[in-house]
Each structure stands twice: as C-alpha cells, then as structure tokens.
Amino acid sequence: MTQDIDYKQVAQNKRESNLAKIPKEWLLETIPTPEEQPNVNEYLSTIISKKEQEITALSATQLQQKIKSGELSAYQITYAYCHRSALVHQLTNCLIEIFYDRALERAKEQDAHFKSTGKLTGVLHGIPISLKDQINVPGITTSLGYLAPHISRENEIAICHNENKDNHSLIAQILYDQGAIFYVKTTVPMAMLGAETSSNYAITANSIDRTKSPGGSSGGESSLLAAQGSVIGLGTDIGGSIRGPCTQLGLFGLRASSNRFPYLDISNSYPNQITVPSVVGPMCRYLEDLELVSKIIIESQPWLKDPKCLPIEWKSNLEIDTKKVKFGVMPWDHEVMPHPPILRCLNELQQQLSKNGIQADLIEDAPPVKHSSIANLLTDLYTCDNFQEITKFCELSSEPHPDLLKRSFNLPGKVDNLYEYMDKVEIKYKFQQAYDKYFNEKGYDAMVVPGWSSTSWTLGDNCKIANSYTRYLNPLDYTVLTIPVGKVDERDVEFERKEEEFGSVQDKVNWNYYEQKKYLGMPVVVQLVCRRYQEEKAIGLAKLILNVLKKN
C-alpha cells in the first residue's frame, strides 16, 4: 500500500476541483439540509428562472422541434442544463466530472452552423446528454469510483483496462456524431458494485428525497435525471444498475440484451467476465427519448466497429396487436414480497389492462426457478476473484474499501478453478432454458414484475432491502424496461403478515422496513420483461401500458 498518500485529501481535492469548475454565480451560498428541503425540484423551482425551468421540463424530442423552429438555440438549452446540473450536484453529490466550458463552446458552434446553413449537425443537435463514469470522453478522467485515477494518469490507465481511453466510447461517439453535447459524468460506487452510489469521493443522494438513496450503480445518473439536470443519460447494468436507480427515481431505463448496444471502449471492472456481461443503455424521463436514442444507436450499425455487437437491425415498423398480446403480471416471486404500494400498483395495472380488453394474467404460482438461485449464481461470477482487483486498485491511493463493499466481503467467490467456472456457465444455461420453457408454456409476450422490493430506502440501509427483482434477469439476459406506474399514497398502509407467510429471512427484514409515512409521494416503478433481443417490442408494449394508464 502506498503509505504516503492521504486518500481523504485526494477526495477533498477532487470535490473542491469540481466546485471550482462551477461558475461562481451558480454556487449556492447556503445548502439546506436534506431534512429542511428533501426534494431538489421543489427547491430549484424557487431559485431558477421560469424560462430555464420550461426548457429542462421538455423531452429531448420536444427540444428537437424547438431547435428546428428556431424557438430555442443549442446554447440556451445547454446553458440551462449546465446551470441546473451544477445546482443539483451541490444538493446531491451526483457529478464526478464537469466540463461545462467544452459543452457551451460546442453549442455555440452548432448554433453558428445552423445559422449559416439552415441545417442541424445531427438528430441530437443541441441535446445535452449525461454519462455514467464508465463512458469515455477524450480529455476527461474516468475513475470507476476509485480515487487513484485522480492522482495520476498511470493509475487511470491501469484501472480503466482500456488502451483507447483517449477516444470516445463507441456508443458516445455515435451520439456525438449526431450532435449530442456531453457536459458531465455522473457518480458511481467503487467498481460499480453496489445498490447505492457511495464511495470515498462522496455519497450521492436521491433528488426526490435527499434522505434516501438513488440506488446504484447508476445512481448519479438517476438523481441528476429526476431533478431535470439531464434529459438523457447513459448507464450500465450487470445486476440492476440501470433498473434499480430508475426504480428509485421514477425513470424509464432499458436493460437491453447483451451486445445489442455497443460496449466497445467503455471502461469497466472485470471487463473480461463475459458469462453475464455488463450492458449499456439509456436512462430517460420520457419513453419517447429512450426510443429515440436506442434507434439512433442501432441504426448506426455499431456491429461494424464492435465485434461483440450483434448485427440486428432496428425494427421501426413493429406493430403491437392488442387483441393478441398477452401479459403475465407477477406481484411477487414467493421469496420476497415487495412493499404495499408496489403490490397495489401491479394489481391495479393487471385490472386496468384486462378492463381495456388486453389479456393480462395475474401470476400466483412460483417462478420456474428460484430467483435467489439465479441471483446467487450472478454473485458467484462477479466475486470469483475474492475482490483481488478492487483491493489492488485501492492500494494505489491507500483508500480503504468503502462500507458499501465491505458488506459484500462476506460473499466470497465460490469459483476456485476453470472447471467450476464452466459448471457455473452450464447452470446459467439451464436457468435460461427453464425460464424460456415457462414463457413458451404460458404464451406470454412479456411479464410485468416489481422494479424492486421497495420504492426507496434511507441512505445506508441498502442491506435491509432485497434487490432480487433485478439481479435474476441478468443471467437470463432478457430485455427489461422500467416503467413508472404510480406513486406511494394514503392507500398504501402497512399490514402484518403471519410468520409462516414469509418466503425467507430477507423477506421478513424487507417487509418490516416499510413505513408508509416515509415513502409518501415516492415513485412506483415496474419492470417490463421481454424475451432476449426484443428491445423494440418492449418499447411498443410500454407505450401500450402507458396508454392504458392514461385512460384510467
């Protein structure tokens, strides 16, 4: 371990350097405590101009139209998002890299181009996009939740596992070529391992309620998006890292099947673990924006540059026949019962779909495979080195393992050799076969399941909340889309369950954690689960669900 490095000072220096990149007129004189002002949007509505509030409330699709009509400029939009993101960061610690000067200069260039030619630079001309701190941008540090990259360039290269670190990640290059404006990178927990977004750099708070967690590992993205500090973000997901944060903040997030979207030149922990690979995908406030950016990425034919990316064209004309579509709605998996508001929203959704002539079966039987068994397999795979990589990278800065990871150290990898690893691969294949058989027998086009076992939790309490509803879907490699369907309200009272009704010890701990008064107004989000490589279908079915909810 490097004894002469004070990791706390490294973290403090980084926090101060980020604040120094924020214009002085954007710095808050006093920051209210989370208890004084829990909701970031409510607070910002008192200090941001009405014009900027109107800009950041629009979808990217709406912003496109206003740019084309000349009603808004790229600079106006970028300025509004830079300003708001700076304020959100001061209240939530959601940013790790800030490069407003570069973003505003690009916006000016785009405005000049549009003025002189009458043409946009691309489909995303003038649209600010935030990036999780795995996505590489030339000249901007990538740190993956470690402090060492903020000490030296050599450390950054070692940790990022990426010889092309000085280039855009391919997915970022695709969006950049279409006019996207990058302006910030968002926080992650160390090594992207954690259901909260905390590290030795900072603890990121939920922007809807700052006393609560934004989830992880894309929690910086989710907190920024929900506070309207971003309109489109890119996250990654290996166990729920897009879907969990979207669930906690009421967002749309797409966990595409592996290698549908390009992962080329995205930095990652354990980058060569390919049995259950991490995937990259969009996180948005509006479904239309998620569809827009997904279509742009696939229509660029990324498989021509990323050999792992599958050559599957985007299906723009996919139609959903409401008379033939069949949903299976699963309120719980018989292992961990989600909290009352989630149960209510799932049951209401099933009833509303049926009322509108759409077949939606209420699933009352247990899943074909215990979800905990699939989740445990995932844990075995990404902890099989007993955290040696993490320990090695921590030593570069003398930083300790954060508490979030220490709790994981009681889950040592159970893979001692290649033979055992291959056995895990076979088990994954059998799990996939069992679930595919279930889909075939039931005839489901999609399942609707809880987004999480809770709508949120107090910062630091993630160990009390079960996360089994996201993790089992990664080894299955299904396409999954999060959909906000409601909010916690006065109907969601606590109710007791008998001891024999609990599906597991974790079920009891999770259930007893719920207190209605703590969660009033928090979003309720479900997961729409489709078969592998059905991203377009998932979006189409999500539109159908939203239309039904709108009617009711």
Segment 115-142, tens digit of pLDDT? 999 999 999 999 999 999 999 999 999 9
pLDDT at 411 over 80: no
Please classify residue 357 by burial: count the beta carbons closer than 10 Å to its beta carbon, then call 0-12 exposed, 13-18 middle and 19+ buried.
Answer: exposed
Cis peptide before 267 (omega within 30 of 0): no
Give the C-alpha distances (Å, rounded to integers) separating 388 from 276, 351, 383: 19, 49, 9
Assign domain 326-551 to its CATH architecture: Alpha-Beta Complex (3.90)
Quote the percentage of the chain above a pLDDT of 90: 89
Checking if the pLDDT of 287 tops 90, the result is: yes
Check if the beta carbon of residue 541 is closer than 8 Å to that of residue 528: yes
Task: Give per-residue pLDDT as tens, 469-497.
Answer: 999 999 999 999 999 999 999 999 999 99
Annotated binding-site residue? 217: yes
What's the N-to-C CA distance of the chain in angstroms? 60
In this predicted structure, what is the pLDDT of residue 2?
Answer: 56
Residue 239 marked ligand-binding: yes
Whether the CB-CB separation of 93 and 202 falls below 8 Å is answered with yes
Tell me the mean pLDDT in the region 492-507. 95
CATH architecture of 13-304: Alpha-Beta Complex (3.90)
Active site positions, annotated: 132, 217, 241
**CB 204, CB 215: distance < 8 Å:** no
In angstroms, the CA 507 to CA 497 distance is 11
* Count of residues making up the chain: 552
Per-residue b/e over 330-352, b at no fewer than 16 CB within 10 Å?
Answer: bbbbebbbbbbbbbbbbebbbeb
Paired with 486 in beta bridges are 524
Range of weakest confidence among 181-190, 220-229, 409-418, 435-444: 409-418
Would you say 73 and 126 are in contact if contact means Cβ atoms under 8 Å apart?
yes
240 has binding-site annotation: yes
61's enclosing H/E stretch is: helix 60-69
Q: Which residue has the tokens 């969601």?
A: 492
CA–CA separation, 216 and 241 (whole Å): 5
CATH 3.90.1300.10 placement within the chain: 13-304, 326-551
CA-to-CA separations, 210 to 42, 93, 206, in angstroms, rounded:
12, 10, 5
Whole-number pLDDT of residue 381: 87
> Which amino acid does the sequence have at 246?
C
Per-residue confidence band for 3, with pLDDT thresholds at 50, 70 and 90: low
Residue 153: how many CB atoms within 10 A of its CB? Answer: 10
Confidence of residue 1 (pLDDT cuts 50, 70, 90): very low
Structure-block tokens of residue 128:
């600010």
Provide the 10 A C-beta neighbour count for residue 47. Answer: 8
Annotated ligand binding at 337? The verdict is no
**473 compared with 4, residue with greater pLDDT:** 473
At residue 66 the predicted structure's pLDDT band, cuts being 50, 70 and 90, is very high
Q: In terms of Cα–Cα distance, which of 71, 110, 90 is closest to 18?
A: 90
As a whole-number percent, the residues of the chain with pLDDT over 70 amount to 97
Q: Are 364 and 113 in contact (CB under 8 A)?
A: no
Is 150 a residue whose pLDDT tops 60?
yes
**Predicted local confidence at residue 386, as pLDDT:** 80
Q: Tell whether 269 is in a known binding site.
A: no
